[in-house]
Chains A and B, each alone.
Chain A
Amino acid sequence: MTSKIKFPGSIITRRDLLAQSAAVGVGAAVGLPLWSSRAAAETPRRGGKLIVGVKGGSSSDSLDPTLIPSQAAAYLTYQYGSWLIERSPEGELRGELAESWEPLEGGKRWVIKLRQGVKFHNGKDFTAADMVYSLNRHRGPDTKSPAVSLMKSIDDITADNPYQLTISLKEPDVSLPYLIAYIHLVAQPKDENPASAIGTGPFILDKAEPGKRYTFHRNPDYFKPNSVWFDELEVLVINDDTARISALLSGSVHIIGEVPPNLVPNLKNVPNINISSSPNSRFYYFVMRVDQPPFDNPDLRLALKYAVDREAILNNVAPGYGEIGNDTPINSVFPFYSNDIPKHSYDIEKAKYYYKRSGHSGPIVLHTAEVFPGAVDMSVIFQQSAAKAGITLELKREPVDGYWDNVWIKAPFCVSYWGSLTTEDQAFSMPFASGAPWNDAHWERPEFDKLLAKARGELDPKARKAIYREAAMMVHDDGGHITVMFTYDIQAMSNKIQGYTIFPFGEDARNTQTCWFAA
């Protein structure tokens, strides 16, 4: 790693930042030069054509933000789109299309003032009506958007005037500003094909060739000053890991994402190549259905939690680029992370003790498939580490194709992962709240749901943190997840790229507007 890549300090120390979101957002919007400040040391240079190689694109990808069906589509969304509110590299909220936001009635109603003079790529003015339309596309019974469950708490969205809108909630939620920073909730113009990638973002799409190549040019009317240095942008879909890396090595592309951790050592020795990694909340876990025997037995669950050698798995799957999981969905990237929760580390004696107490005997079937790189390795290491504690795991290989349909949520014990959870509320409510469609452990605890509701209405950050710690403890002790690890995103780039910034939560696609070519 070189000095050109800035790591935004320790994320854990900035726990008070939520105060900014819950109180009044005006301060964030006033500071216009915020997004240029970190690049001040080196003077950015305008010009050139940036070529990026991304993984995970398919020839059927659509650019409709209600879908965002692949990682490549997500990358593109950051190029053409903007949001009301964004997260800074430091994790703070700041206004993007919103100038300010203010909670009324303890967070039950939110008044959002919009930036004026912003133009869509088709030349039309951006107004509150467009934003209401954009947000409403993700609500209601007919929407295909995965944001629908987040939007359930919204009662109504109205445009008060062309530059102000009000969001009314069913229950107070102080994390609403975080919620509307969600990747799907892009500002789109009304009366336009929603898959046309017309937005207010830094780059204007010239040509989309799904699964292959997307070309953009710089948006001359972009509303953020001192950003977007490249004149042109080309995003190439290169799904094969080796092909992506050789494209970087041979100079065909400048930046590649999704570098497999096991290939990093090979790249590190190459001159002219820099490696960067950004923390993420993506976690990999084994899920036990707590409504079914034998996993309805809390002792057996604990025995299995102690029987996983998480360190060995992390060292095998993502050496040096991740964090060990502790059976909660919150890791150090979140502002309200509590680092004092007792660790469920590999402990043969404890595993034996709880296994004996559970009274269970016989092999336990674990369904596994390579649904993420290293999933099967992770399962095999688990099998070996559990065997040392006298617990027999039987691995059942499933096809990757159709895994989310036929195995996940249905099988009593299987491997899975969660990505793109960006707030504590999401991280707790999407996988664990009662009645949530993706509650894969079928773990339903009314006390837990009450805690989440309480946190949503709690304006004091300290008190919120305490509530989330309590929630994390419940999931940790009793829940059906064996959270093995969190992994970070790894990017590699040519040393011609300057100003590369680390954005947490998988937003490194924003670097197209912060970087420039060295002279």
Chain B
Amino acid sequence: MDSTKLAMGGVPETRIGRSTVLIVLKRLGVGVLTLWAVSVLIFASTEILPGDVASAILGRNKTPEAELAIRHTLGLDRPVPVRYFDWLSRFVQGDIGKSLVNQRDIGPEIRERLGNTFFLATVAAGISVPLSIFLGLLAAVWQNSIFDRAINTLSLLTISVPEFFVGYVLIIVFSVKLGWFPSLAMMNDDMSYLQRLYAISLPVSTLVLVVLAHMMRLTRAAVINILSRPFIEMALLKGIPRWRIVIEHAVPNALAPIISVVAVNLAWLIVGVVVVEVVFVFPGMGQLMVDAVANRDVPVVQTCGLIFAAVYVGLNMIADTLGILSNPRLRHAR
């Protein structure tokens, strides 16, 4: 992802030591275990939910006979562990299965939706991560200036209103009143790359406004924290210009917390944007998973859940690794 490359740019050139490889491998192992635990949890929780796919398909029109018929054809009358291991053995072999509700293969649908979700998240991250770090640095350098206060107030405002509200405001202003951008963020096959970018302009703006504040404020706080250390004072006394102190001395030391807050926000951009998807009618993963949960479509819920979990585990792992690489004390662990 763009953002991770960007974060790496700030890291001094280094040879990845053997210990780092070991740490990464260990993390990978734990990650796989986490995913397995997640799959058990998801399966169990869909079992605990009242009703099953048969009653979800039939809904208000349920008759006992039709319910039994559906349960039998879908194999839902088998015991829970049998169904779980049946699913697991297929999943491990790469067969993510068919939707229980409409009997379609899950693969193509997930691929398309995941592609959309990643597209939206990448564009939003590509704008928000550099912007927030840049603004955060400026705010730290000009601490307590008018600029600092203005940007703090503005970002507090966008973070404290719910994201659907930000979305609606943008729609009313830029779509209904001004007519500049579409209110529907439909993604269709016949659209060019630029058309797609245009279609998602409003949801991207919403997401940028929502994640900006968090990352910016943390960057500012981390850098200010470093700037209050004695060695910075020393550098100041030696007459090094302020911008060099920030870029060469403060930022490298503040990287670890910045990287981890960026990772958390990136993960949110992928797994947490269902509300924004609904407001802009964006065909992403969130809506797919919500529909699947409502229909008790276990294979779809499982696959979505595992993808989401993998995103979190993966991003956290990358953040930790980068954090280690950016800190020589951790890099050369004994």
Contact = CB atoms under 8 A, between A and B. Distances in A.
Given A144-B57, A144-B58, A240-B281, A58 B295 contact: yes
A243 B171 CA distance: 9
B232 interface: no
Contacts of B179: 250-251
Given A243-B279, A402-B50, A59 B66 contact: no
Contact of A212 (B55, B62, B283, B300): B283
B50 A148 contact: no
A243 B164 CA distance: 11
A242 B279 contact: yes
A263 to B, nearest CB: 13
Interface in B89-112: 99, 101-103, 109
B279 A240 contact: yes
A293 interface: no
A148 B295 CA distance: 22
A58 B279 contact: no
Given A142-B69, A243-B183, A437-B63, A406 B51 contact: yes
Main secondary structure of the interface of B (DSSP, over half): helix
B49 A246 contact: no
A59 B57 contact: no
A243 B57 CA distance: 26
B59 A144 contact: no
Contact of B49 (A60, A247, A402): A402
B182 A236 contact: no
Given A60-B102, A236-B281, A242-B168, A148 B49 contact: no
A405 B184 contact: no
A246 B55 contact: no
Interface string A52-91: 0000001111100001010000000000000000000000
Contact of A236 (B51, B184, B287): B184
A213 interface: yes
Contacts of B269: none
Contact of B58 (A146, A209, A239, A406): A146
Interface residues of B, number: 46
Contacts of B175: 246, 249-250
A150 to B, nearest CB: 11
A405 B50 contact: yes
B186 interface: yes
Contact of A210 (B49, B50, B69, B102): B102
Contact of B183 (A59, A239, A250, A401): A250
A424 B44 CA distance: 45
A142 B73 CA distance: 10
B280 interface: yes
Contacts of A69: 57, 59, 101
B310 to A, nearest CB: 21
A62 to B, nearest CB: 4
A211 B101 CA distance: 13
A342 interface: no
Given A58-B294, A243-B278, A401-B49, A212 B176 contact: no
Nearest to B180: A250
B228 interface: no
B184 A143 contact: no
B182 A250 contact: yes
A246 B291 contact: no
B70 to A, nearest CB: 6
Given A402-B51, A405-B55, A243 B184 contact: yes
A404 B66 contact: no
Interface in B165-184: 168, 171-172, 175-176, 179, 182-184
Contact of B295 (A60, A143, A209): A60
Interface string B280-295: 1101000110011011
Contacts of B69: 141-144
A174 B55 CA distance: 33
Contacts of A408: 60
A405 B176 CA distance: 41
B292 A59 contact: yes
A404 B102 contact: no
B45 interface: no
Contacts of B184: 236, 238, 243, 247, 252-253
A355 to B, nearest CB: 31
Interface in B149-206: 168, 171-172, 175-176, 179, 182-184, 186, 188
A149 interface: yes
Contacts of A243: 171, 183-184, 278-281
B66 A406 contact: no
A211 B57 contact: no
Interface in A197-223: 209-213
Interface string A228-244: 00000000111110110
A466 interface: no
Interface in B221-274: none
A252 B57 CA distance: 31
A246 B283 contact: no
A104 interface: no
Interface string B126-150: 0000000000000000000000000
A195 interface: yes
A282 to B, nearest CB: 12
Which of A69, A149, A250 is packed against the most chain B CB atoms within 10 Å?
A250
B275 to A, nearest CB: 10
Given A60-B101, A148-B63, A252-B182, 14 more contacts: A60-B292, A69-B101, A148-B65, A195-B102, A211-B283, A211-B287, A239-B281, A240-B281, A243-B183, A243-B278, A243-B279, A246-B176, A249-B175, A404-B51
20 contacts: A59-B109, A62-B101, A143-B66, A143-B69, A144-B69, A238-B281, A243-B171, A243-B184, A243-B278, A247-B281, A250-B176, A250-B179, A251-B179, A401-B49, A401-B294, A402-B49, A402-B55, A404-B55, A404-B59, A437-B64
Q: 8 shortest A-B CB distances, which residue pairs? A: A402-B50, A146-B61, A60-B101, A62-B102, A405-B51, A58-B291, A402-B51, A250-B175
Interface of B: 49-51, 55, 57-66, 69-70, 99, 101-103, 109, 113, 168, 171-172, 175-176, 179, 182-184, 186, 188, 278-281, 283, 287-288, 291-292, 294-295, 297, 300
